[in-house]
């Protein structure tokens, strides 16, 4: 995976310092032909320790920053490393070719699947072309088309979620962003092939759940899944929210993978490399692939009516309430 030059989150300062020292050591070793392997090993241990420390201190707000990290692997990165072949398909056959969501058939080992997923951009130009992963209605209508195709052709679906939120500007409203989100959920709710959903980065409200209805729903360890961005929630709670208030809002929302698991919204947390997926995208993709295959194969064995009934029952059970007696 090719990333733009490393960018560091504020709390990653320790890692940055050690990695610079490491580069120094390696340079000196190769330029001056000295053996610094002992120092390098020591530094590797320090790096590992620092990453562990950071990982242990990942507050919900820090997870938000990790989930949004510009070096975090995106859907097309995962596709490149998980699938052996991928044919990206384009267009909603109605209006446009929205690039904030990608999809198409792909080979997962010996069998084919249909992959859909939000796609943020890596470069400035690509970010704009992909609208920062915020989808217009056309993106969801493309997804619907691919989902229906997958059902007809008998391909299971892999859906990767990574969006700050659906597009909410005038044009999106005029072309029915609400209808697009609603109809995609309805379609996935009854689709007669297995669906595995993974929140890989930002699971941003309606834009996320639109492609979030599956037989299995997983989250990467530091991904987030939220009904509203913490900034938006803070704006509702406080006037001109200060940074600490935004951080507090992030905690209140229970938006981490650990929260989602506890609340019964997801089935599994997929561990990330130490410090986050942005430190080892290839390792992350390998872990993700294993999880997808492990979850998908039992679903392929289920009779389709049972599969669809189970998926329905799964989402029907979501939510918490009490039953008042007589």
First to last CA, the chain: 60
Q: Are 215 and 307 in contact (CB under 8 A)?
A: yes
- Told to check if 298 binds other proteins by CB under 8 A, we report no
Residues 280-319 that bind its own copies (CB under 8 A): none
CB under 8 Å to 89, separation ≥6 — which residues? Answer: 103, 104, 105, 142, 146
Q: Which does 88 bind (CB under 5 to 8 A by kind): its own copies, other proteins, none?
A: other proteins
Sign of CA dihedral 38, 39, 42, 48: negative
- In the complex with other proteins, the residue whose CB is nearer, 79 or 166, is 166
Q: Please identify, among the stretches 151-159, 176-184, 223-231, 253-261, the one whose residues bind its own copies according to the rule CB under 8 A.
A: 176-184
Quick one: which of 252, 271, 298, 310 contacts other proteins (CB under 8 A)? 252
Residues 66-125 that bind its own copies (CB under 8 A): 93-95
| Residues 13, 27: Cα–Cα separation, whole Å | 21
Going by DSSP bridges, is the β-strand pair 216-220/157-163 parallel, antiparallel, or unpaired? Answer: unpaired
Q: Are 248 and 228 in contact (CB under 8 A)?
A: no
- In the complex with other proteins, the residue whose CB is nearer, 38 or 174, is 174
Would you list the DSSP string of 40-70? HHHHHHHHHHHHHHHHHT--HHHHHHHHT-T
Q: Which does 187 bind (CB under 5 to 8 A by kind): other proteins, its own copies, none?
A: other proteins
Quick one: which of 13, 84, 148, 179 contacts its own copies (CB under 8 A)? 179
Inter-helix orientation angle 304-316/177-190, to 10°: 130
Distance in Å, CB of 284 to other proteins, minimum: 23
Q: Please identify, among the stretches 9-17, 20-28, 98-106, 279-287, the one whose residues bind other proteins according to the rule CB under 8 A.
A: 98-106
- Told to check if 26 binds other proteins by CB under 8 A, we report no
Counting residues that bind its own copies (by CB under 8 A) gives 10
Q: Which among 142, 293, 165, 276 has a CA at the least distance from the CA of 231?
A: 165
- In the complex with its own copies, the residue whose CB is nearer, 171 or 244, is 171
- Told to check if 226 binds other proteins by CB under 8 A, we report yes
CB under 8 Å to 223, separation ≥6 — which residues? Answer: 63, 67, 199, 200, 201, 202, 203, 257
Q: Which does 233 bind (CB under 5 to 8 A by kind): its own copies, other proteins, none?
A: other proteins
Q: Are 268 and 218 in contact (CB under 8 A)?
A: yes
Q: Which does 49 bind (CB under 5 to 8 A by kind): other proteins, its own copies, none?
A: none
Going by DSSP bridges, is the β-strand pair 85-86/101-108 parallel, antiparallel, or unpaired? Answer: antiparallel
- Told to check if 236 binds other proteins by CB under 8 A, we report yes
Q: Please identify, among the stretches 44-52, 123-131, 168-176, 250-258, the one whose residues bind its own copies according to the rule CB under 8 A.
A: 168-176
Torsion of CA 166, 171, 173, 178, to 10 degrees: -40
Quick one: which of 67, 200, 233, 273 contacts other proteins (CB under 8 A)? 233
Distance in Å, CB of 221 to other proteins, minimum: 16
Q: Which among 226, 196, 199 has a CA at the least distance from the CA of 214?
A: 196
Residues 157-196 that bind other proteins (CB under 8 A): 166, 168-170, 172-179, 181-183, 185-190, 193
Q: Are 201 and 230 in contact (CB under 8 A)?
A: no
Distance in Å, CB of 305 to its own copies, minimum: 20
Q: Which does 168 bind (CB under 5 to 8 A by kind): other proteins, its own copies, none?
A: other proteins
What residues make contact with its own copies under the rule CB under 8 A?
Answer: 93-95, 137, 141, 174-176, 179, 183
């Amino acid at each position: 995976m090719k990333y733009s030059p490393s960018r560091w989150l504020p709390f990653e300062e320790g890692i940055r310092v050690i990695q610079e020292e490491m580069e120094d050591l390696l340079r000196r070793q190769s330029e001056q032909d000295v053996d610094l392997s002992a120092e390098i090993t020591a530094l590797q241990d320090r790096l590992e320790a620092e990453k562990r420390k950071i990982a242990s201190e990942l507050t919900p707000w820090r997870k938000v920053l990790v989930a949004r990290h510009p070096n975090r692997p995106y859907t097309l990165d995962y596709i490149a490393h998980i699938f052996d072949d991928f044919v990206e398909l384009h267009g909603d056959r109605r209006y446009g070719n929205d690039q904030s969501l990608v999809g198409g058939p792909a080979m997962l080992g010996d069998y084919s699947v249909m992959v859909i997923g939000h796609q943020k951009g890596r470069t400035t130009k690509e970010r704009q072309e992909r609208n920062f992963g915020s989808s217009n209605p056309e993106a969801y209508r493309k997804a619907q088309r691919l989902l229906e195709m997958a059902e007809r052709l008998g391909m299971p679906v892999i859906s990767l979620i990574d969006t700050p939120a659906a597009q909410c500007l005038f044009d999106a409203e005029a072309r029915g962003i609400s209808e697009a989100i609603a109809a995609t959920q309805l379609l996935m709710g009854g689709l007669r092939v297995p669906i595995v959903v993974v929140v890989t980065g930002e699971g941003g409200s309606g834009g996320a759940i639109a492609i979030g209805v599956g037989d299995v729903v997983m989250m990467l360890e530091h991904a987030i899944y939220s009904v509203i961005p913490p900034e938006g929630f803070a704006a509702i709670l406080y006037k001109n929210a200060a940074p600490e208030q935004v951080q507090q809002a992030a905690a209140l929302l229970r938006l981490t993978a650990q929260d989602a698991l506890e609340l019964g919204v997801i089935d599994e947390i997929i561990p990330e490399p130490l410090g986050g997926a942005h430190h080892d995208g290839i390792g992350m993709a390998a872990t993700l692939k294993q999880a997808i295959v492990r979850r998908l194969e039992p679903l392929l064995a289920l009779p389709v009516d049972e599969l669809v009934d189970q998926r329905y029952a799964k989402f029907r059970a979501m939510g918490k309430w009490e039953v008042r007696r007589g």
